Structure 1
Amino acid sequence: MEVFDRLNTLITEILSTPAATTEEVERFRITYLGTKNVLKPLMGEIRTIPNERKREFGQLVNRAKEVAQQRYNDLQRAVQQEQSEQQGSSLDLTAPAEPLPLGSRHPIALTMRRIISIFERIGFTVAEGPEIEDDWHNFSAMNTPEDHPARDMQDTFYVAAGMPAGPDHTAMLLRTHTSSVQARTMESQAPPIRIIAPGRVYRNETISARSHAQFHQVEGLYIAEGVSFADMKATLLHFAREMYGADTKIRLRPSYFPFTEPSAEMDIWWGLETKHDHRITKGTGWLEIMGCGMVDPQVLTNCGIDPERYTGYAFGMGIERQAMLLYNITDIRLMFENDVRFLRQFASVL
């Protein structure tokens, strides 16, 4: 019948219709799959088909629809692939990429990593401990007397009970130094011990350009048989020259710390070439960078180490102080304000 011939012709037409652009593919969709497609008038002629051929006619109409849908999918896929290949071929792969903004590492993190690296190269390992500490590890184990001013509320942030510890040493506080990590290490590890303890510490101090209520320290501890003051001096001289230059000079001045005996302050020769040098060294040319000394035998006893067999030295320094010297930062508050203008200055520092 004529209607069957028209359907077969239409199927052949669908299979042979080209479409090389997005617009041509869309015209194909409208013609053969749209709401007013060319198949709809043919479907209306089913009433003229004899009953015995209506089934055959319906199957042929459905095949025409399926062929049109498949042809549309194939044409659409081919055009999209062609466009993708053309777009890719137009790219200049030798052109420089879009610049990506570099992140910034904080000067405290940079300085801490530098200090840790120096000591790791000579055998020290990093030890860590809690920032909320008990009185025993923060004070008593480190030979700090019960009446020492550092225990007062004016210097220490207590976080439990609100008062300094009694004889049971149960008061909790924000650690005032990382010496508490040394105490915990000595309690849990047998000599030889060679550690550095970097971390954040807290003291109830007035915030100014030179001091802050929170800051960072790196403390070191070496305990073994036969450790001497000369060993400590050689280690700290090595650190100073790695940190500030091969020609750096140091000096050790007598001092006092509850947990070391003898104790010393270590200075480096900074020079007096500029007004800034005169100001930060108070006209002497020498600049204090850390405290140090031989571990007091009582501290070893407190932590379960035999002072008759072992000796050791300890040292500690403020990381902010080192960062201010390295990067010529004049106000410690800049390191805690997260001002992006300040931090961007360290974007290229590794």
Structure 2
Amino acid sequence: MSGPNKSYDPVQVASLSAENVDAMVAEALQAFTAATTVAELKQARIAHSGDRSPLALANREIGALPPEAKREVGKRMGQARGRVSQALKAREAEISAAELEQRLAAERVDVTLPTELVGHGAIHPITGLIDLMSDIFVAMGWEIAEGPELEAEWLNFDALNIPRDHPARTMQDTLFVDPPESNRVLRTHTSPVQARSLLDRELPVYVVCPGRVFRADEYDATHLPVFNQIEGMAVDKGITFGHLRGTLEHFARSLFGPDMVLRWRPSYFPFTEPSAEVDLQCFVCHGSSVGDPDNPCRTCKSEGWIEWGGCGVMNPRVLEACGVDSSIYSGFAFGMGVDRTLMFRNNLSDLRDTVQGDVRFSRSLVGGAR
């Protein structure tokens, strides 16, 4: 067996001499110092600290040295590569800090300068008023019920005791959907939701039904072809007209103030009997303009009262059509326009303002609608 190699050619490993190693380190440190960006420092790192750098290639020559020389040269190379690594880390920290400072300076915002704030939107007054109306009934223990806007003709009319020859079923008021044999309409009121509630829920039922409705109406200051209604229904044992009156008086006073006075006028609706129209005492003149030509009231046209909505005790035919035994249960129903109520509360003169999409309108009324 041959002994260890004790002789080597110094020329072949000249790169491992102290002078050459110091030169490699000096060259690496100079390259790191010359780099001013992270990208430039990366190139310098690859050139002087990577696998193909002069120090890495020289380090591979240590294997050609005899054992007594490896210890000294290995120590020298380890110290050299450590100096390069430490210098690289220090320069990376310096460049990163400098770039961060430059970026912060470029993105600096002077908070003392005047700025133009972006305008915020607002809840639409109709939406706000529907929420308020719904909250009043939820506070009384009622439920909110919703239904489809494209409704079956039977639920929109027949179930509500509206006969086939009733004027409301003609094309003058109702928007029918093709094909005609589908027997579907755009609902003309939210009463079908009441019928659905009786069919789907266990008795007793106390629901309020807000939503959009559709009529073949003119588009003018007091009429819209698409508007909003809120209707309510209570079906329970022993329900009377007195319960209806108490409910609507509480509802009106919650909306218009504790001093609001209601007037009840006999009327007719196919789905209630007896039926009544509910008027609100004018909340502007409180009736003082009646018979006083010198003090006219634009809100009530000097009549002292404003028509609000219809109501009545539910017709037994409606209960029976929805599977309710009218000999045991009774109920009441009411309905009024949300858009019209908004006109009363905020003294609007043109319903078209509610659908124009002008955010200034929403901002001006959102507080009142709430």
Flag whether TM exceeds 0.5 (same fold).
yes
Cα-to-partner distance string for 1:86-130 (whole Å, 9 max, x where unaligned): 9999998x9999856332110100111111111111111100111
Q: Is contact 1:292–1:314 with CA below 8 Å preserved after alignment?
A: yes
Q: 2:134 aligns with which of 116, 139, 146?
A: 116
User: 1:1-350 maps to which residues of 2 (within 5 A)?
Assistant: 1=17, 2-10=19-27, 26=36, 33=43, 69-79=88-98, 101-162=119-180, 171-270=183-282, 271=285, 272=287, 278-346=297-365
Are residues 90 and 278 of structure 1, via their aligned partners in 2, closer, same or farther at CA, if it must alter by over 3 Å?
closer
3-state secondary structure, aligned to 1:279: coil
3-state secondary structure, aligned to 2:147: coil
3-state secondary structure, aligned to 2:21: helix
Tell me the amino acid that sits aligned with residue 102 of structure 1: H
Map of 2:10 onto structure 1 = none
How far residue 194 of structure 1 moved from its aligned partner, in angstroms, is 0.4
3-state secondary structure, aligned to 1:113: helix
Distance 2:331 2:190 in 1: 17
| 253-262 vs 74-83, which moves further | 74-83
3-state secondary structure, aligned to 2:297: helix
Tell me the amino acid that sits aligned with residue 333 of structure 1: R
Q: Is contact 1:7–1:60 with CA below 8 Å preserved after alignment?
A: no
Distance 1:218 1:33 in 2: 73
Q: Is contact 1:156–1:173 with CA below 8 Å preserved after alignment?
A: yes
Matched-pair identity in %: 36
Tell me the amino acid that sits aligned with residue 139 of structure 1: F
Cα-to-partner distance string for 1:117-156 (whole Å, 9 max, x where unaligned): 1111111110011100011100000000110001101111
How far residue 71 of structure 1 moved from its aligned partner, in angstroms, is 3.9
Unaligned runs of 5+ in 2: 1-16, 66-73
Distance 2:135 2:116 in 1: 34
Tell me the amino acid that sits aligned with residue 131 of structure 1: E
Are residues 194 and 138 of structure 1, via their aligned partners in 2, closer, same or farther at CA, if it must alter by over 3 Å?
same
Are residues 278 and 14 of structure 1, via their aligned partners in 2, closer, same or farther at CA, if it must alter by over 3 Å?
same
Tell me the amino acid that sits aligned with residue 250 of structure 2: H
Are residues 138 and 32 of structure 1, via their aligned partners in 2, closer, same or farther at CA, if it must alter by over 3 Å?
closer
3-state secondary structure, aligned to 2:264: strand
Tell me the amino acid that sits aligned with residue 255 of structure 1: S
How far residue 313 of structure 1 moved from its aligned partner, in angstroms, is 0.4
Distance 1:208 1:306 in 2: 43
Query: If the length of structure 2 is used for normalisation, what is the TM-score?
Result: 0.75
Tell me the amino acid that sits aligned with residue 261 of structure 1: E
**RMSD of Structure 2 on Structure 1 (CA):** 4.2
Q: Is contact 2:21–2:77 with CA below 8 Å preserved after alignment?
A: no
Unaligned runs of 5+ in 1: 18-23, 164-169
Which has more radius of gyration? 2
Tell me the amino acid that sits aligned with residue 316 of structure 1: G
Query: If the length of structure 1 is used for normalisation, what is the TM-score?
Result: 0.79
Count of aligned pairs: 329
Distance 1:144 1:136 in 2: 9
3-state secondary structure, aligned to 1:293: strand
Tell me the amino acid that sits aligned with residue 7 of structure 1: M
